[in-house]
Structure 1
């Protein structure tokens, strides 16, 4: 039973705000931290079901500021690869129990932080050479899969897009378009899997202001807030929440 009390909103409000800021201003990379945070106190399926409509709202609100500033060739490659990835994620979701999902979400959270740190240290250079379309389709497949099971499609999409040497705003606009399409595709199997309920709908309605405020802040932060500062704060949250989910799954 989902209790829409002060404790829920103390956790969910900042999580949704973070998702809006990340998706609207920083390439969607850390938006999945919201689902990871919610999964600390809710069943993973419920956490994902609450977040998807809010992420779709953030996508919709983020499109106008970046309208036609995306790169369609790269977006098309990721979307075409992402649809089969969504189907693969739906298949896995039917097989897995809550602890497997907690373990998967927690592991993706820690892997995301490791990937970001490796980039910052120069150990990985995804933009060293321009990746071909075939690799882009594979990146799209992984994007669709990880997006379905944890709303964490940002890293594989970023690896491909960074190699294409897009501008900062072109990169941001392309990620907005890609995840707008992939999140629409996810909504269909989410419905069939019973992840949308009356309770999650009530929670979503009450969390809409947090989503819209986060989007507004993210568009403005895109131009003024140092990306490194934003991700360092997010990394701490992801390490803590991801480790806790893994611990809960294993014990």
Structure 2
């Protein structure tokens, strides 16, 4: 594992990245948290950034569980969590064969397509009322697929937010039920990820020490997100979630373009 720098530039990248991840995970489904690893990767290799973030994400998950304790939907977790574990397992044994830039492009396109579909219906292009009522909420197979994709992309780059939101957001749950369910989902898969990350040598003294130094920022970011969550209406909540999802998608697409065409 590469040595982590301790210069000012590293902390200028890491501190806002952790706050963004905490606010997003604490209040808005975690979608925008996917940008944390790419931001930190401005200062360190991306595999180091991913390893550095995992203990911090686990700390955020503990805060989230406390804040939304037993408010989640077991029905949706029973679909997405087992599928995600299968996705993590596949990622563990196949990640070396997949170029991370292409994974970012795929996730980015998923995020943008789903969010733009929401905005099209929200701003002046609504379907007739009878057609809206007839639209089916995505079922179990949809959840198994996106849960598995979320597990794989979360293992590779902590980018499970857009795929799982592709299933969860169209469920149109109460905002707190939705938030609590995503908190439990990411808690489960982040704990599972600790095992393969340790097996492949992602954690060393430098990574764990730096994670420990930055750890106090995790509950602060979560606290801000939780406070904001309780201050917004359901309508505004979903608008913000889809907006964050769209921003995340464009950021991931930019990362792909930067790797192949800009850098």
What TM-score results when the alignment is normalised by the length of structure 1? 0.87
Task: Give the greater-gyration-radius structure (CA).
Answer: 2
Aligned pairs, number? 247
Q: Per the alignment, do residues 232 and 135 of structure 1 end up closer, same or farther by CA in structure 2, a change over 3 Å counting?
A: closer
Give the gaps of 5 or more residues in structure 1: none
> How many angstroms does 1:178 deviate by?
0.8
Cα offset for 1:193? 1.5
**Cα drift, residue 90 of structure 1:** 1.5
**Equivalent in 14, 19, 22 of residue 21 of structure 2:** 19
Partners in 2 of 1:92 and 1:209 — Cα distance?
34
Q: Does 1:118 align with 2:120?
A: no
For residues 200 and 74 of structure 1, do their structure 2 counterparts lie closer, same or farther at Cα, with a shift above 3 Å needed? same
RMSD of equivalent CA atoms = 2.6
CA 1:114–1:163 in structure 2 vs 1: closer, same or farther (change >3 Å)?
Answer: closer
- 2:193 equivalent to 1:173: no
2:155 aligns with 148
Contact 2:138–2:171 (Cα < 8 Å) also in 1: yes
Call closer, same or farther: CA 1:102–1:41 in 2, change over 3 Å: farther
What do the CA deviations read for 1:57-106 (whole angstroms, capped 9, x no partner)? 1011111111111111111110011111001111232335xxx2244335
Q: Are 1:212 and 2:219 counterparts?
A: yes
Q: Please list, as runs of the form range in 1=range in 2, the aligned pairs for 1:96-115 lying within 5 A after superposition.
A: 96=98, 100-105=99-104, 108-109=107-108, 111-115=110-114
The equivalent of 1:41 in structure 2 is: 43
Contact 2:103–2:153 under 8 Å retained in 1 = no
Pairwise CA distance, 1:156 = 2.2
Deviation at 1:246, TM superposition (A): 3.5
Runs of 4+ aligned residues of structure 1 deviating over 6 Å after TM superposition are: none
Change (3 A) 1:238 1:47: farther
Structure 1 residues 1-251: aligned runs within 5 Å: 1-96=3-98, 100-105=99-104, 108-109=107-108, 111-122=110-121, 128-224=135-231, 226-227=236-237, 228=239, 232=243, 239=250, 242-244=253-255, 246-249=257-260, 251=263
Within 1, Cα distance between the matches of 2:79 and 2:11?
38
TM-score, with structure 2 as normaliser: 0.83
Residue segments in structure 2 that go unaligned for 5+ positions in a row: 127-131
Q: Are the structure 2 counterparts of residues 241 and 144 from structure 1 closer, same or farther at C-alpha, using a change threshold of 3 Å?
A: closer
Segment of structure 1 superposing worse, 105-114 or 31-40: 105-114
**Inter-partner Cα distance in structure 2 for 1:83 and 1:244:** 26
